[in-house]
Every structure is written in structure tokens, then in C-alpha cells.
């Protein structure tokens, strides 16, 4: 079962300031400090989250923490930004309410990190899927891009947002993100050209110079040294907490994920480099003849490189820095610029170029992350905007920022009261009016269309004549002097005349967060935000793909003489749109507070935090929240938490939860005026009542814990006793079993010993009987053996004696027979002995010869000419005849293994031998090469498919030959096809048939005796193919080609056999002329190639390399 916790459990200090008792500024700060010292950086004011910047990483943003706060009640766990994000997301998903999360606080309070945490939490708890994950990744990766171009290091914050950002994240009906829209407000573009001491320019400049590759910097015409660029401050160019090189790689990767193309990223970096180059352009005065000073550029190298980056003609931009053209109706006046005006124009161009680039980036990101579906979307807005600013010197930027914060405070009070009132009406609780400070009067002082400060500033900027900051201040003193929140030393109020804290060139406004002194210097120029038309037109003439989009007013075809809207007017309109947007959504607030100015952890500066608490109106927020009921909770969790305080509700309440709470409050005798019953919640007016319930619950829990401990200890002792009892029984039973087993084993062992002794005695008795019986049997056997041995030896002696007598008789008989034969043979031996010895010798020699020949026979190859030598000369005839017979026999054996195809090949080889042996020098090299026939594989090659299909007969030979041109002796490649009926010549590249000659029309073939491949196909006179004359060709397979031609003609019964002429000089008929082809042997210095040259009209000379 899940363990339910509460905001009130294990609480350090007070988690919700609404419950703080007593409520004062000191107790408020003490509670914040106590929680901050224990790493509790989040505290509630009702549904508002106060966030203290810890300036270090805390282990409270892990995936486990995300799961812990997922789908949990807002007050169920300790305060956390995830609780607010989860509440907003579930309201949007389940109740179909558009949400907005307003994050405010001064620079360095952690607003940007808070917005990232909200977005990362929503991304973690919403749906999954490939498309959804892609959208989430694009939304999250838009932050690094905007931070690089819109954030900078300030004295208060290393990553300070110098623009306001409002992002609408769009969801479908399931709660999955579909896309988003980003709006930006008032980029601090003056930072581009000048930074206060100890601060940096925007991050992207340092990231580009630190992280870009050498090749990229070379293309952008930049160097890594920060000191080379006037727009980059050097006293704090390197920040230890920032890795600019790694951040540059992160930004490039983020731009790719968001959807920027490679050429777009390159264009953006070129514009950033152009801004740096622009800051290096310096001017010098030059006197004219009329006595006026004009400006000239000192060193044009930076101007040249900038123009090359942007694709602008150098002369056009140089003129725009030196002259200003003013148009009025039909008139156009051109004036020169002095050095101060030139520097103003340069800085104005740099600020406008960077500001418009930033706006283009926001637009481009919106194109990538916008929702594609056309259906209605649920929207969650996240507003990360600069907080209230009070510096030593406050100018136009602080005035605009503080005006925006006044509007946010106004809508915060209105929406908080409205939410409170709506909840009371929804729950049926009587609404009582709450007294609070309404800052609408301050907003009206600033934004009133007639007498507001912004309206007067616009009026002063548009007024003809001399307009200065002093005339604007005089106008304020005249119109706003009687306003209770406006103070000026030059106003008509006498109480400020001697106020030395109020300089003459300043005015002071009493904001809701305190008084702020504004120095009027620069108000008019910054509100005008003028960029000379000459510079706009020069930028429009650029060939750069992005510049023309940024300066559309520079188009000469669309010249607009109307003055552009002022910065104050544009910002006022943007704030109005933002307020209208926020009014349509359910608000959720995160108030960020900076604990110290040192950006160090574990330091809590009370004066600084007190100042922020005051201007954020947090005390007033608590009072508004507590003006009605300080605490409210639905009946089910309330009854679940406090049910142990009443016997009727403990341990289980069976009825409705409201009746259970009513029974509980009645039993506790809580005064009726301290609480009210709503439709779904109980409302508790005073925190003391809640703390009373908590104290009673704590005491009851202690009593219950004692009861549980008593019952547990009794149960544990009884369980231990029963376990011991059960163990004793088991041990006793096991011991009795063991004793009986030992007794049984002892008896068994004794029985076994007695039995073994008896069996041993019986066995030994039986053994003695068996031994005696065996001895008797062995004695009989021994006597019998001795008797049989005696008998056998007697018989053996008798047989030996008898055999000796028989052998003696045989020997005597053999001697007698031998003597008798020798006596009879002696008289015939001398007459026939010689011939018999001769015949016997010859027979032995012949036998030895044939046996030796059998073991020395040569191999079965017909070309093997080896044969064993004859041992005797009288065997010469036999030896020769046997060699002939053996050769014929192995030739027959060899032929019997031939297939029909192989027989045909050898028949062709035999015919080639008859035609060319000892006649053609190239013939010996062709003997070992098999006749392949189709060298082009014409039936398989798709290149010759058309040619193959056009030949009806079977192709016997297909090869590439050279057709010799009689004009110059050069050859052109042709495909040579031979069938049983014709010879075909075709183009090698196209496969088109050039000539087709039927075989009956061939008269003869001529070739030389040399090592060449030339041959002539001579046609019969008067034949159809003889019109163009004979064919002089050259082939690497000459022997095979002519052999196949001759063989086809000799096998055909209807035509004459083709004649083959082999001569080093023959005639060839070319149309009407006869040309002599003569073959000569070339020298070694000409190499091994065959060359053919035309000597005259009647002679072609072929030079053949000498034979090896």
C-alpha cells in the first residue's frame, strides 16, 4: 500500500507561508533562512512557489524525484518546483484549462534555470513516441540557441537573460506536446556596442572565437584573440564557470536538432562576425573647404572584410557612413556626418543588425517547433522575464523593464484575487472584500495614452524642432508634477526643491517595489532607435541571403517616408498583447530570489533578500491569501489525516467524507467561526487552528505509537515463548530418536559380531574338508600323468627307430637311381648339350627382356616418344615392332576417351597443321591454344543482343578484327562473325552490320608467311558482294579463322573448296583498283608491333617484326 505523506510532515520551518505564525517581515525572512540553511530552497505561498538560488547543484532533480511528484496532490509532498509544474500540466491535460507559468525575479535569481526545470519536467511526464520525442527535443534544444544569442555575463549573474521570453507549448488532447511558439521582448541591444565594467557582451561572440575551428575562423576572417575587437570587453572576457568552446559545440548541435540548415548556420555566423568587424571601424575628422568637418574611415581593411562577408560593395557602405540623406515629400537633402555622428551610425547599425538577427532566430525557431496539426490545442505558457531592476544609474531600459513588472504585478494581484474569489464561489463560501494596494495608478502614470510618460516621450520624439532629453524632462515636470507617485526636483512641488538625493537631470517614480531614480539622459535617442535610411538601403543591396530579409525597409521600390514606431510604443504594444494572453490562462507563479550578490552557496544576505521580498510583494501576497481562509483541503485527505483524533472516525469511517470531517470538528470542539464547510473542501481561517489539529494529531500519534509498541512487544514475547516451546518439543523428539538409534546400532553391531564368528568357524571347517578332498584328487591325477608319460615315451622311441630305418632305404634308393641315370645319360650328353644350353640361354634372355620391358614402359601420352633401350642387337627387329604396336595401342586408348566436340577440335587442329605447318611463322604458337570460336560470348553479352538476334544461323566464330583502310593503312575495329553460310562484318560500338558476304562468293584467302595476322578475303569477280572490292583484315586468331573458313568450304557439297594462298606478296582488289600488299621484315628498333603504310597507289607495305 502506498504511504501517504503531507506538506506538514517532517517540515523544516513552515513550508507554506500562509501558515506562518506570527506573520511579520522578520518571521518571513527567518523562515526562508531556516529552510535555505537546510537545503530547502522552495517554499509556498498558497499556490505560489518561492525559489531561492542555491548557487550549486542539489540532488533534488533526479528521475526518481520526477516520479515522486508525478500525479501527486500539490500539498501532498514538500514544496518543489516539480509540484507546481505537475499541477499545471495535470490541469491542462485533465481539465482542459490553458495554463501559464510566470517566472519573475531579478537578474541572477535563477529564472532561466527555473524555466528549464519546468520544461524538462513536462517533457519527462508527458507521452512517449518517436514524433513526440522529436518535438520535446526541439523545444528543449531551443534554449541553448536563445541563451547563446540573448544571454550575457553580468556582475550579478554569469548567464543573465538580456531579453524577455514567453513560450507557448501546445499539447494535444492526450497531453503530448505538438509544438510551441516563442515571443521575445526588449533585447538589450545596447550591450552589443558597450558593456558595463565587469560584464561581457553576448555569449555567442566569445563562443565563436573560442570554439570554432581554424578553418571556420579563416572563412569568417576572424582571429581567436578577444583583444582584436573593440566591441568585446577584456576585463571579464573569460569566465571560469563557462566553457565557451564546449558551449559553441552545444549551440551548433542544438541548431541542427531544432532544424537549421548548414547554410543558415553559416549565414548566422557570418552576421555575428560582421558585427565584430563593424566595431573595429574607426573614423577620423577631415575638414572641407566650407569649414565643415566630415568623417573618414581610418583603416579600410576591416570595412573591406565586412563587405566581403556580407556581399556589399565597399564604396556603398563607406558613403553611408559619411553622408545622411533626408527625404521629405519631393525633396531629398544629403548632409555630411561628423565623427560623432559616424560613430553613432556605426553603433546603430551594429545594434540593429544584431537585434534583427536575434528576432530572425526566434522566428526561424518558431517555424521549426510550431504545431503542424490544425486542430485546437491546449496551451501552457512559460514566461521568463527580467525582474524589477534598481541600479545606481537607471536609464530607459530599466524604465521599460520596471513598467513590465508593474503590469505583471497588477495582473498577479488581479488573478490571485480572482482565483481566490472563484474558489470561494465554487465552494459556496461567502466572499468578503480584501483591501490591498492596487498599482493601477502607477501603470496609468506610465502608459496613459494622453498624459502617460511613454506617450509624452513619443510625442517629444515626433515633435519638430530641437528635441533633447531636457525638453522631455521639462514636459514631465509640467504634466506629471501633481502625480503622487512622480517626483522631480524641477517640478512645482516645493518639497523636492531641496532634495539633494534627486539630481536635476533625473526623475523618480514610486513603484510598488520601491522608489527608482531614472537618469533622463539617452531616453529620447533610445526611444527613437533611429537607423539612417542610407544604411538600410546599403544593407538591402547586399548579396547575402539573410541581410535582405533583415532590412526590408531598404528596398528602393518600397520607400516609406512614414516614421517607424518608437521602441517604447512597440514595447507597450507587446506588453499589452502579453497581458491579454495571460488573462486567458490559468496562472502559476514562481518567484525567484537571489540570496546573495557573491554568487556563492550557503550565504544568506538578509538585507538583499528583504529588498527582493518587498519589491516582489510577497508579504502582500501572503496577506491577500490569508485575508479569507489561510488553509483549505479536500475532505478525503483531511479525514484520512486527522481521523485518529475522534473515536467515531477511528479507525475507519463508513459514511461520506464530509460527514466524517463534521463529526471530527464537532468532537474536537473547534469554534465555528474558525472554519467553514465548502462543497468539496474544508476552509480553516486561522493557522493556529491548523497547528492545533497538528499538535493533537502529533500527541495522538505518540499515544498510538505507544499502544502499537505495547501490542507489538506482547506479540513478540508470545511469539518468542511459542517458538521456544515448539523448539523444546522438537529438540526432545530428536534426542529420543537419537538415543534409540544409538541403542539399536549397538545391538545390531553385537549381533553382527556373533554371526561373523559362527560363519567363520563353519567356513574354516568346510575349507579343511575341501582341502583334503582336493589333495586326494591331485594324487590320482599325478599318478595317472606319470603312467601316460611312460607309455608315450616308449611309443616315441619305437616310431623314431622305424622312421630311421625308412629314411636309410630312401637314401640308398636315390643314390642308386642317380648312378643309373648318369650311366645312361653319359653317352648322349656330348652330341646335344650345346644346342640345349643355347636354347635355354635364349629363353632366359627373352624372359628377362620382356619382364624388364614391362617395368620400363613409357607413359600413355601419344606425344611421349621415349622407349627403353634394347639390351642385345639380335632383338632390334622385335624391339622396333613392339614400340610401334605399343604406340598404336596407346593412341587407340587415347582416342577412345575423346567426345565428339573434342574430335572436331582435333580435326580442325589437324587441318590447320596441313594448311600452315612449315608455311606460316605464327603457326607454332597457335598449336597449344585451343580453338574457342566465340571469343565475344555474343549470345550472352547484352551489348550484342540486337546483332545476335539478327543472325539466323549458328555463329561458328565471333571475334574482333581490324579492317585495313587502303588510303592510309590504318585499321578500324569490326566484329567478325562466321556462320555456315556467310561472313558478317559489324561495327564494334553500335553492333550495326557493315557487310555480309555469302561463302559461295569467296574465291580465296591470302596471307603471308610472317608473324602477322593480316589476311585478305578475295571475292569472285561478278558476284553481288564484289562491288566494294576485297577485304584486307587483321586478326589475333588468324590460324583458327582461316582453318574454319577452309573447313566449312570443304564440307559443303554445293561449292568449291576455298583456296588458301600463303605468300609474302599478293594482290587485293579495292573497287576498280588492284593493290599489291607486300610484307617485309622490320628492324629490332621498330619494336614488336606490325605497321602498315601506303607507299603509292598500287602498293601497301606491311612491316613485320623479325621472328624470335
Selected catalytic residue, list 107, 115, 151, 159: 107
Q: Which residues of 338-366 are buried (b: 16+ CB within 10 A; e: fewer)?
A: bbebbbebbbbbbbbbbbbbbebbbebbb
112 carries an active-site annotation? yes
Which of the residues 110, 211, 279, 387 is marked catalytic?
A: 387
Examine the residue annotation and report whether 161 is marked as an active-site residue of this protein. yes
**Cβ-contact 519, 395 below 8 angstroms:** yes
CA distance 892 to 75: 112
* Contact indicator for 219, 106 with CB cutoff of 8 Å: no
CA 833 to chain centre: 112
From residue 338, how far is each of 164, 292, 294, 308, 350 by CA, in Å? 36, 8, 4, 26, 18
Q: Which of 13, 15, 105, 108 is catalytic?
A: 108
**Number of residues assigned to the chain:** 1108
3-state secondary structure of 1085: helix
- What does the block give as the cell for 1030? 576485297
Q: Which CA distances in Å does 825 have to 117, 812, 814, 829, 836? A: 139, 20, 16, 6, 14
Backbone angles phi, psi at 651, to 5 degrees: -90, -15
Rounded to 5 degrees, what angle do the CA atoms 1051, 1053, 1055 make?
95
Catalytic-labelled residue, pool 6, 157, 267, 1008: 157
Grid cell locating 1038: 588468324
Dist CA 261 CA 258 (whole Å): 10
CA separation for the pair 274, 229 (Å, rounded) = 11
| Torsion of the alpha carbons at 982, 983, 986 and 988, rounded to the nearest 10 | 130
Which of 154, 161, 233, 394 is catalytic? The answer is 161
Helices and strands, number each (H, E), in the chain: 30, 31
> Does residue 335 have an active-site annotation?
no
Active site residue 108: yes
553 and 64 Cβ atoms separated by less than 8 Å: no
Q: Of 151, 160, 250, 926, which residue is the catalytic one? A: 160
Of the listed 43, 53, 104, 112, which one is catalytic? 112
The answer to whether 675 and 684 have CB atoms below 8 angstroms apart is yes
DSSP-derived secondary structure for 188-213: -GGGGT---TT--SBHHHHHHHHHS-
- CA-based torsion, 595, 416, 87, 387: positive or negative: negative
Strands 99-104 and 586-593, by their bridges, are parallel
3-class SS letters over 472-485: HHHHHHHHCCCCCC
Measured from the Cβ of residue 188, the count of other Cβ atoms closer than 10 Å reads 19
The reply to whether 233 belongs to the active site is no
Place of cell 565594467: 197
Q: Which candidate in 389, 397, 420, 460 is catalytic? A: 389
User: What are the C-alpha distances in Å from 204 to residues 153, 440, 1096?
Assistant: 11, 39, 84
Element (H, E) at 1074: strand 1073-1081
Dihedral sign from CA coordinates of 61, 66, 68, 74: positive
Residue 562's alpha-carbon distances to 217, 553, 572, 580, in angstroms, are 41, 11, 20, 28
Output b/e per residue, 503-534; b: 16+ Cβ within 10 A: eeebbbbebbbeebbbbbbebbbbbbbebbbb
For residue 175, give Cα distances in angstroms to 63, 172, 377. Answer: 20, 5, 10
Q: b/e per residue, 413-431, with b = 16+ CB within 10 A?
A: bebbbeebbebbeebebee
Are β-strands 982-987 and 971-978 bridged in parallel, bridged antiparallel, or unpaired?
antiparallel
- Residue 554 annotated among the catalytic residues of the structure: no
The b-or-e profile of 1023-1034 (16+ CB within 10 A means b, else e) is eebbeebbbbbb
Peptide bond into 651 cis (omega under 30): yes
In angstroms, the CA 720 to CA 724 distance is 6
Residues annotated as catalytic (active site), given as ranges: 107-108, 112, 157, 160-161, 387, 389
Amino acid at each position: 500500500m502506498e504511504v501517504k505523506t503531507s506538506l506538514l510532515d517532517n517540515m523544516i520551518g513552515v513550508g507554506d507561508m500562509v501558515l506562518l505564525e506570527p506573520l511579520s517581515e522578520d518571521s518571513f525572512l527567518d523562515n526562508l533562512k531556516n529552510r535555505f540553511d537546510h537545503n530547502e530552497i522552495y517554499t509556498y505561498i498558497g499556490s505560489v512557489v518561492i525559489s531561492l538560488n542555491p548557487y550549486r547543484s542539489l540532488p533534488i532533480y533526479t528521475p526518481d524525484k520526477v516520479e515522486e511528484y508525478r500525479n501527486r496532490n500539490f500539498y501532498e509532498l514538500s514544496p518543489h518546483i516539480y509540484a507546481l509544474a505537475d499541477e499545471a500540466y495535470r490541469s491542462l491535460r485533465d481539465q482542459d484549462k490553458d495554463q501559464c507559468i510566470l517566472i519573475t525575479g531579478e537578474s541572477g535569481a535563477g529564472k532561466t534555470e527555473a524555466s528549464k526545470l519546468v520544461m524538462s519536467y513536462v517533457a519527462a511526464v508527458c507521452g512517449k513516441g518517436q514524433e513526440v520525442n522529436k518535438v520535446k527535443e526541439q523545444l528543449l534544444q531551443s534554449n541553448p540557441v536563445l541563451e547563446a544569442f540573448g544571454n550575457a555575463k553580468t556582475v550579478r549573474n554569469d548567464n543573465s537573460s538580456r531579453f524577455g521570453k514567453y513560450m507557448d507549448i501546445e499539447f494535444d488532447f492526450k497531453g503530448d506536446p505538438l509544438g510551441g511558439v516563442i515571443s521575445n521582448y526588449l533585447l538589450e541591444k545596447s550591450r552589443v556596442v558597450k558593456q558595463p565594467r565587469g560584464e561581457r557582451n553576448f555569449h555567442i561572440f566569445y563562443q565563436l572565437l573560442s570554439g570554432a575551428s581554424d578553418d571556420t575562423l579563416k572563412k569568417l576572417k576572424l582571429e581567436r584573440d578577444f583583444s582584436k575587437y573593440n566591441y568585446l570587453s577584456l576585463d571579464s572576457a573569460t569566465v571560469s564557470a563557462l566553457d565557451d568552446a564546449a558551449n559553441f559545440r552545444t549551440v551548433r548541435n542544438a541548431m541542427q536538432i531544432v532544424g537549421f540548415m548548414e547554410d543558415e548556420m553559416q549565414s548566422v555566423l557570418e552576421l555575428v562576425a560582421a558585427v565584430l568587424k563593424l566595431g573595429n571601424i574607426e573614423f577620423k575628422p577631415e575638414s572641407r573647404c566650407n569649414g565643415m568637418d566630415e568623417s573618414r574611415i581610418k583603416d579600410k581593411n576591416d570595412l573591406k572584410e565586412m563587405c566581403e562577408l556580407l556581399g556589399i560593395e565597399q564604396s556603398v557602405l563607406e558613403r553611408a557612413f559619411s553622408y545622411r540623406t533626408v527625404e521629405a515629400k519631393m525633396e531629398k537633402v544629403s548632409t555630411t556626418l561628423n565623427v560623432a555622428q559616424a560613430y553613432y551610425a556605426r553603433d546603430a547599425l551594429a545594434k540593429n543588425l544584431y537585434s534583427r538577427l536575434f528576432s530572425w532566430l526566434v522566428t526561424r525557431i518558431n517555424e521549426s517547433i510550431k504545431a503542424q496539426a490544425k486542430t485546437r490545442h491546449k496551451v501552457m505558457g512559460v514566461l521568463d522575464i527580467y525582474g524589477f531592476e534598481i541600479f545606481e544609474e537607471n536609464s530607459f531600459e530599466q524604465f521599460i523593464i520596471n513598467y513590465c513588472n508593474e503590469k505583471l504585478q497588477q495582473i498577479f494581484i488581479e488573478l490571485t484575487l480572482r482565483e481566490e474569489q472563484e474558489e470561494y464561489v465554487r465552494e459556496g463560501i461567502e466572499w468578503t472584500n480584501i483591501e490591498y494596494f492596487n498599482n493601477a495608478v502607477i501603470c496609468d502614470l506610465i502608459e496613459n495614452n494622453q498624459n502617460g510618460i511613454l506617450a509624452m516621450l513619443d510625442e517629444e520624439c515626433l515633435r519638430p524642432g530641437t528635441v533633447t532629453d531636457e525638453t522631455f524632462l521639462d514636459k514631465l515636470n509640467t504634466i506629471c508634477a501633481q502625480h503622487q507617485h512622480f517626483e522631480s526636483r524641477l517640478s512645482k512641488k516645493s518639497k523636492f526643491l531641496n532634495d539633494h538625493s534627486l539630481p536635476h537631470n533625473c526623475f523618480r517614480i514610486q513603484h510598488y517595489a520601491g522608489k527608482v531614480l531614472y537618469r533622463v539622459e539617452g531616453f529620447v535617442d533610445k526611444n527613437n532607435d533611429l537607423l539612417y535610411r542610407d544604411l538600410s538601403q546599403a544593407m538591402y543591396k547586399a548579396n547575402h541571403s539573410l541581410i535582405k530579409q533583415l532590412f526590408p525597409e531598404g528596398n528602393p521600390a518600397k520607400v516609406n517616408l512614414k516614421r517607424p514606431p518608437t521602441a517604447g510604443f512597440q514595447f507597450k504594444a507587446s506588453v499589452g498583447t502579453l497581458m491579454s494572453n495571460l488573462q486567458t490562462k490559468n496562472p502559476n507563479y514562481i518567484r525567484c530570489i537571489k540570496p546573495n550578490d557573491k554568487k556563492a552557496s550557503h550565504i544568506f544576505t538578509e538585507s538583499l533578500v528583504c529588498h527582493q521580498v518587498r519589491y516582489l510583494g510577497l508579504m502582500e501576497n501572503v496577506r491577500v491569501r490569508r485575508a479569507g481562509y489561510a488553509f483549505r483541503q479536500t475532505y478525503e485527505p483531511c479525514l484520512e489525516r486527522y481521523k485518529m483524533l475522534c473515536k467515531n472516525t477511528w479507525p475507519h469511517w463508513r459514511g461520506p467524507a464530509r460527514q466524517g470531517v463534521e463529526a471530527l470538528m464537532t468532537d474536537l470542539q473547534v469554534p465555528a467561526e474558525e472554519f467553514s464547510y465548502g462543497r468539496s473542501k474544508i476552509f480553516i481561517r486561522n493557522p493556529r487552528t491548523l497547528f492545533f489539529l497538528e499538535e493533537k494529531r502529533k500527541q495522538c500519534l505518540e499515544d498510538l505509537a505507544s499502544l502499537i509498541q505495547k501490542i507489538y512487544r506482547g506479540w513478540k514475547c508470545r511469539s518468542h515463548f511459542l517458538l521456544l516451546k515448539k523448539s523444546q518439543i522438537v529438540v526432545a523428539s530428536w534426542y529420543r530418536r537419537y538415543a534409540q538409534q544409538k541403542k539399536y546400532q549397538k545391538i545390531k553391531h553385537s549381533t553382527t559380531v556373533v554371526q561373523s564368528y559362527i560363519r567363520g568357524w563353519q567356513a574354516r571347517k568346510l575349507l579343511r574338508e575341501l582341502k583334503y578332498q582336493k589333495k586326494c584328487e591331485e594324487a590320482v591325477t599325478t599318478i595317472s600323468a606319470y603312467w601316460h608319460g611312460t607309455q608315450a615315451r616308449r611309443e616315441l622311441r619305437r616310431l623314431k627307430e622305424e622312421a630311421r630305418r625308412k629314411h636309410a632305404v630312401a637314401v640308398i634308393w636315390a643314390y642308386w637311381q642317380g648312378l643309373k641315370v648318369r650311366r645312361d645319360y653319359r653317352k648322349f650328353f656330348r652330341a646335344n648339350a650345346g644346342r640345349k644350353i643355347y636354347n635355354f640361354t635364349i629363353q632366359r634372355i627373352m624372359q628377362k627382356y620382356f619382364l624388364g620391358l614391362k617395368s620400363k614402359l613409357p607413359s600413355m601420352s601419344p606425344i611421349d616418344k621415349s622407349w627403353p633401350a634394347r639390351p642385345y642387337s639380335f632383338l632390334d627387329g622385335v624391339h622396333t615392332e613392339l614400340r610401334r604396336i605399343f604406340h598404336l595401342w596407346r593412341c587407340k586408348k587415347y582416342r577412345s576417351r575423346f567426345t565428339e566436340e573434342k574430335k572436331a577440335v582435333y580435326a580442325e587442329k589437324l587441318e590447320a597443321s596441313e594448311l600452315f605447318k612449315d608455311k606460316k611463322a605464327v603457326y607454332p604458337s597457335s598449336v597449344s591454344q585451343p580453338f574457342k570460336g566465340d571469343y565475344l560470348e555474343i549470345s550472352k553479352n547484352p551489348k550484342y543482343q540486337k546483332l545476335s538476334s539478327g543472325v539466323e544461323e549458328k555463329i561458328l566464330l565471333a571475334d574482333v578484327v581490324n579492317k585495313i583502310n587502303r588510303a592510309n593503312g590504318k585499321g578500324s575495329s569490326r566484329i567478325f562473325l562466321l556462320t555456315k553460310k556467310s561472313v558478317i562484318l559489324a561495327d564494334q560500338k553500335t553492333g550495326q552490320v557493315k557487310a555480309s558476304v555469302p561463302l559461295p562468293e569467296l574465291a580465296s584467302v591470302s596471307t603471308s608467311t610472317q608473324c602477322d595476322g593480316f589476311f585478305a578475303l578475295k571475292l569472285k569477280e561478278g558476284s553481288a558482294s564484289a562491288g566494294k572490292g576485297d577485304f584486307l583484315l587483321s586478326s589475333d586468331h588468324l590460324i583458327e579463322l582461316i582453318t574454319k573458313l577452309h573447313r566449312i568450304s570443304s564440307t559443303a557439297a554445293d561449292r568449291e573448296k576455298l583456296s588458301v594462298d600463303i605468300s609474302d606478296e599478293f594482290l587485293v582488289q579495292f573497287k576498280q583498283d588492284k593493290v599489291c600488299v607486300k610484307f617485309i621484315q622490320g628492324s629490332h628498333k621498330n619494336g614488336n608491333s606490325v605497321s602498315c603504310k601506303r607507299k603509292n597507289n598500287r602498293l601497301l607495305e606491311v612491316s613485320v617484326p623479325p621472328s624470335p
